[in-house]
Amino acid sequence: MALPVHALLSWVYCTHLNMLSLSVILASISVASATFVNMTSVVPSRKVGKRCTGEIFSLADVAAAQECTTINIAGFTVPAGQTFSLSPPDGAVVSMTGQITFAVTPWAGPLMVIRGNDITFNGNSHNLVGNGDQYWDGLGGSGGIQKPAPMITLDMSGTFENVVILNSPQRAVAINTDGLTVSGVTVNNAAGAAANSRSAGKPAGANTDASPQEADVATLTFQHSAANNIVIQNSVVTNQDDCLAINRGTNIKFTGNSCTGGHGISIMFSVFQGSISSNTVVSGVTISNNIGEQFYRTSSAHSLTPPNPASNQQVRTRVFCGFAYLTFNSSGNALRIKTDATATGSTVSNIVYSGNKGSATQFGVLIDQSYPSVLGTPGTGVVISGVSFTGTNTLTVGSTGHRVEVNCGSTSSCTGTWNFAGLAVTGGTGSTVKNAPVTGGSF
């Protein structure tokens, strides 16, 4: 594996990560290698610090500064091809006092890694500048220019807050830990919605959907690969791929966030695999009170007109929540759970959507056990149980789309309580539920 074992809770200000990790997502992001095997959350070793204040003005200062329980990071540029790796002592308080910029060169990454226990990391609204616009070519991680990923890996418990991530080359945030709250983070990959000289008329930060495994995403925002007891809240993501991708993990909450222009939220084994695969557990996930927004489409099939960040223009055409895979193109889905048709020994359970709204062009809700096919012959080796929509979840589907499609391999692979009473979907051509005990709802 090219990167450390920091699998992925990729929250991906989703610029089609060609990723993974989850992304976002909240997804999913992942590591630079396309192989994820038996990933477990990282528990950093204990480290006792000194009562001092460490100051970081360059990478040369890191070793001494990270011995202190208070660390201030001034604005500086990280040299090309190097990782800003920080391992503060237990209980340390880390504050950014200026902008951190990562110089450009094709390489695997990651650009930044934070390890530690009970760390408080406060960005104070300063930027982490990934210079993704100098890498993007419309191919993401599936080809073209090698793009470092993820931009930042969080192998820490505690809090990570008030950070602005600007133009991540691929996946934005990978989370592989136990006990972390991410709050007030902005991932701004809005520039990736426009074409550039390398992207052949496509959004530069987006994937080309050339692979049936959807490995070709450019930037995924939040990715969970082996994450437990995680909260992502009050954050804003603008990207061209998953906002949150959950590969595996338990007790994950994604609440009060805004996602614009990307693919929403996905449950899948890894961003490279694209679905829940073998020997994977996802359990206890709550997606609540999130808002998703979609760029206006121009006449070109791949051309998007993003909001103008300078004017704070907001295009409120889509709100999403849930294990969703929202997209702005013709194959757009609002909420999606994907499991591999050949996978075995995996479970997805206790998934709750509450207080969410959204719109999609193709599927309002898609729960499919036939990956990599869509509504193909489903497998039975992944058991999905306990999927509920509570409160009010409102979705709108385009005129040629499907309101709800549930494609389970058997009544034994989709079990338990599937209470959709809090779901209302309008538009589209209809709904089909196969081998799942769905009750309630209006669709």
Which residues are identified as catalytic? Answer: 241, 263
> What whole-number distance in Å separates Cα of residue 147 and Cα of residue 159?
27
Tokens of 402: 């499907």
Two tokens, residue 153: 């890996």
Rounded to whole angstroms, the Cα distance separating 399 from 172 reads 33
Q: Is 270 helix (H, G, I), strand (E, B) or coil?
A: coil
Rg of the chain on CA atoms, in Å: 20
> Nearest Cα to 167, choosing from 13, 306, 307?
13
Distance between CA atoms of residues 265 and 425, nearest Å: 18
C-beta separation of 439 from 407 below 8 A: no
Q: Alpha-carbon distance 117 to 155, whole Å?
A: 9
Q: Please tell me the distance from the alpha carbon of residue 171 to that of residue 189, in angstroms, as a whole number.
A: 11
Spatial distance between the Cα atoms of 145 and 106, rounded to a whole number of angstroms: 7
CB 335 within 8 A of CB 366: yes
Q: How many CB atoms lie within 10 A of CB 311?
A: 7
Size of the chain, expressed as the number of residues it contains: 443
In angstroms, how far is the first alpha carbon of the chain from the final one?
A: 44
Three-class SS state of 140: helix
Cα–Cα distance list, 403 to 231, 320, 385 (Å) = 29, 14, 21
